Structure formats: C-alpha cells, structure tokens
C-alpha cells in the first residue's frame, strides 16, 4: 500500500514550505475560480493540470484530456452549479470542499476533491461524493 508522505513538523515550519504552500495556494485559487466558479473546465485544466494527470476516480482514466472530457459531460447543462465552501492548501496538497447540483431542484452532492501539486501544477486527484439527504441526524447541513 502506498501512503502519502506527510511533512515533518520541522519541514512544515520552514520558510521554503511556507513559500511552496503560498505558490500552490495562488495557483489553486485561480484554478478553483476558473473551474468551479466560471465553469471554464478546459481553460482551468490546460493552465493548471499536467498532461499526465493521475486520476484516482474509478470512473475516469488518467490524463488531462480524459478529465476534461468527463467534466465537460457532467457540467454541460446550464443549470449545473458548484458552490465552493472551503479551500485548503498545505505544501503540495490542495482540497476543495463544495456542493454540486444539477439544477435548482436537486439537493446535490457534497464533494471533496483532493489534489497533489508540484510547483503550482496539479499532478494527481482523488475525490469523494455523498448525496445530500433531506435531513441529517445532527440537523446540520453538509456544506
């Protein structure tokens, strides 16, 4: 089994790690703006995703073009919305938590997209999605 190497406390406290996080955060925030807010999938992916993009979503093959084709199909309806709730960036990893809906009547899915980056370029992706139920045991929403 492969595990993601976590930065040591000493490494995470270094100036270089802070600079790496800042560089990746700047790139990732622009990627999020283009992809989720403006739904410019091709532009976002051509600017910020490596051609050899490694995909861990079981429905999509590796590669930037495969991801673009998959996402264009999902987002082609004008009623689709992506409401970004949180963005976290730490070193080479970035996470976007969002609510995706196919239309105004769709309760949607809570989505978590995790990306591995290298120098501001997205190299790898994992995601999880959960349908939003009518009610929750806690009474709190998923966003």
Q: Which residue ranges form the domains of the chain, and what is each CATH number?
A: 14-131 (3.10.450.50)
The model's pLDDT over 22-62, given as tens digits with 9 standing for 90+, comes to 999 999 999 999 999 999 999 999 999 999 999 999 999 99
Mark out the alpha helices in the chain (DSSP H runs): 9-12, 15-32, 41-48, 64-75
| Token pair for 121 | 């370029």
- Mean pLDDT within 89-95: 96
Measuring CA to CA, how many Å separate 124 from each of 51, 78, 108?
11, 28, 25
User: Which H or E run includes 54?
Assistant: strand 49-55
pLDDT of residue 1: 47
The model's pLDDT over 119-130, given as tens digits with 9 standing for 90+, comes to 999 999 999 999
Whole-model pTM: value is 0.89
| Token pair for 111 | 């989505």
């Amino acid at each position: 089994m492969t595990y993601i190497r976590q930065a040591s406390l000493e490494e995470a406290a270094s100036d270089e790690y802070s600079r790496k996080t800042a560089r990746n955060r700047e790139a990732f925030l622009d990627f999020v703006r283009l992809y989720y807010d403006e739904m410019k999938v091709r532009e976002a992916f051509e600017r910020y995703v490596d051609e050899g993009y490694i995909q861990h979503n079981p429905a999509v093959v590796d590669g930037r073009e495969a991801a673009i084709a998959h996402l264009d199909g999902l987002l082609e309806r004008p009623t689709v919305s992506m409401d970004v709730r949180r963005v976290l960036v730490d070193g080479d990893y970035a996470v976007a938590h969002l609510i995706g809906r196919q239309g105004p009547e769709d309760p949607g899915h809570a989505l978590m997209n995790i990306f591995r980056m290298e120098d501001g370029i997205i190299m790898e992706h994992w995601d999880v999605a959960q349908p939003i139920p009518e009610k929750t045991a806690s009474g709190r929403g998923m966003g």
